[in-house]
Amino acid sequence: MAPPCGNRRRWSRAIKMTLCLCFLIPMAAGIRNTNTIFGQKQKLDVQQQLKFLNRPALKSIKSPDGDIIDCVHINKQPAFDHPFLKDHKIQMRPSFHPEGLSFDESKDVSSKAESKITQLWHLNGRCPEGTIPIKRTKEEDLLRASSVATYGRKKHPRFNTDVTVKGDGREHALVYVEGDKYYGAKATINAWKPQIQEHDEFSSSQILIRGDVSGVGVNTIEAGWQVNYELYGDTNTRLFIFWSNTNANQTTGCYNLLCSGFVQTNDQIGLGGALAPLSNYAGSQYELNFLVWKDPNGGNWWLQVGDKYILGYWPASLFLSLFDSASEIHWGGEVINSQQGDEHTSTQMGSGHFPDEGYSRASYFNNFQIVDSSNILTAPKNSSTLAEKPKCYNVINLGSLFYYGGPGRNLNCP
């Protein structure tokens, strides 16, 4: 006998619910399993990358800012995992320095400023001879990146000095030269702590050396200071380097020692380490000297920071477009404008003040020069300035000295 009509409806609903549960339970289990698989893979990727980046240390130093500096044997550094550097013999010193090297030509600014910038970890110790200091990478550093594979890379690797070309979020205030062959560059860079609005933005001040050969690709070398939360997990001002090799197929290169490439020879300075002290508005000014040049013997691109610290070199074999010389040199500031809420970022460049405020208020580059084909430092000829949005960040070139920077969003830069 058939069940009453009301019972039929209840049985029908019960059957439907049972069928739904039969489908949903395995589906939910499948999602959990998939998430578990992805989670396990990410964890494995993180652990493998940490093992690559963090080499066995002969000594470790805890910095007051929370960094851990590992003193790694010079022959165990990441550079020698690069396929072009497997049998590389370390060159401990450059064959030649550029002629005419001096960081004291201008008495207008440098005589007033102090060059005694150090790194915070020095307060708690130094690395022994035969090692190099490497800032330890933590798990949370990798998890901040969009992927483990992109940690230490730039999101915005391309650059064009033509202001008519639409930007990619990067904005600049700089002086540059192009149209000749260049074999290096130097400058004294005023050091500040600009404020950053968004965690995926940064503010940097650097020398950039660029080689662009048609049909070959673009190579870049950078050295300076930056505030970069996504990379370091804080807003400290830090020493940085960067290099890239871009062609039609791929882009290689990275910040500091976060991939194989740069060969460090110095046991005193840690790339990515925090700098102190820093300049104060209308107060004490601090600056740091940078020199990048191509060794005439062997073709390696060397880096010197300060008056005496030769940090190491980018081997010539890393590059094609910089193998002979550079085609452009840039000096100045760069920020990322993520345009949150369709408003310009308030991330600062330099001191966060416009260049017309002058010394002790605006950030500056002093004694900026190029290295010519005779390995002689000389003032750049026919230099140009670039500021895509001068009401946000601007530059004033006064010859051997220029002021640059700005606050970002303001009444004239909405």
201, 222, 287, 328: which one is catalytic?
A: 222
**Helix/strand/coil for 75:** helix
171, 201, 328, 334: which one is catalytic?
A: 334
- pLDDT bin (cut points 50, 70, 90) of residue 163 is very low
What gap in Å lies between CA 321 and CA 245, rounded to an integer? 8
Peptide bond before residue 390 is cis, with ω within 30 degrees of 0: no
- The pLDDT of residue 217 is 92
Provide the token pair at 128: 């022994």
Once rounded to an integer, what is the mean pLDDT over residues 279-307? 96
Name the amino acid, one letter, at 36. T
Residues forming beta bridges with residue 228, ordered by sequence position: 202
Q: What is the DSSP letter of 150?
A: G
- The pLDDT of residue 137 is 97
- The pLDDT of residue 13 is 56
Which range, of 111-115, 141-145, 200-204, 238-242, averages the lowest pLDDT? Answer: 111-115
What gap in Å lies between CA 334 and CA 170, rounded to an integer? 7
**Helix/strand/coil for 14:** helix
CA separation, residue 334 to residues 104, 196, 320 (Å):
26, 12, 25
Q: Which percentage of the chain shows pLDDT scores above 90?
A: 76
Please write the tens of the pLDDT for every residue from 177-226.
999 999 999 999 999 999 999 999 999 999 999 999 988 999 999 999 99
Q: What is the DSSP letter of 359?
A: T
* Residue 222 annotated to the active site: yes
| Tokens 């840039």 found at | 330
Which range, of 55-69, 113-127, 256-270, 349-363, averages the lowest pLDDT? Answer: 113-127
- Residue 111 pLDDT greater than 90, yes or no: no
| Tokens 């005193």 found at | 268
What gap in Å lies between CA 374 and CA 224, rounded to an integer? 25
What gap in Å lies between CA 112 and CA 121, rounded to an integer? 27
- Residue 397 pLDDT greater than 90, yes or no: yes
Which range, of 28-37, 263-272, 338-347, 371-380, averages the lowest pLDDT? Answer: 28-37
Question: In sequence order, which residues have a C-beta less than 8 Å from that of residue 43 and are 6 or more positions away?
Answer: none
Q: What is the DSSP letter of 122?
A: G
Cβ-based burial of 20 (10 A; exposed 0-12, middle 13-18, buried ≥19): exposed
Q: Side-chain half-sphere of 51: how many Cα atoms within 13 Å?
A: 6
- The pLDDT of residue 20 is 45
What gap in Å lies between CA 259 and CA 153, rounded to an integer? 9
What gap in Å lies between CA 201 and CA 161, rounded to an integer? 21
- Residue 253 pLDDT greater than 70, yes or no: yes
- The pLDDT of residue 24 is 47
What gap in Å lies between CA 277 and CA 285, rounded to an integer? 9
- The pLDDT of residue 176 is 98
What gap in Å lies between CA 224 and CA 209, rounded to an integer? 12
**Helix/strand/coil for 70:** strand
- The pLDDT of residue 28 is 47
Residues forming beta bridges with residue 370, ordered by sequence position: 185, 378
CA separation, residue 300 to residues 90, 91, 177, 262, 306 (Å):
11, 9, 22, 10, 20
What gap in Å lies between CA 299 and CA 183, rounded to an integer? 10
- The pLDDT of residue 308 is 87
Once rounded to an integer, what is the mean pLDDT over residues 364-372? 98
- pLDDT bin (cut points 50, 70, 90) of residue 40 is confident
Q: Comparing 113 with 389, which gets the higher pLDDT?
A: 389
Please write the tens of the pLDDT for every residue from 74-107.
999 999 999 999 889 999 999 999 998 876 554 4
Q: Which percentage of the chain shows pLDDT scores above 70?
A: 85
**Average pLDDT of every residue of the chain:** 89
* Residue 357 annotated to the active site: no
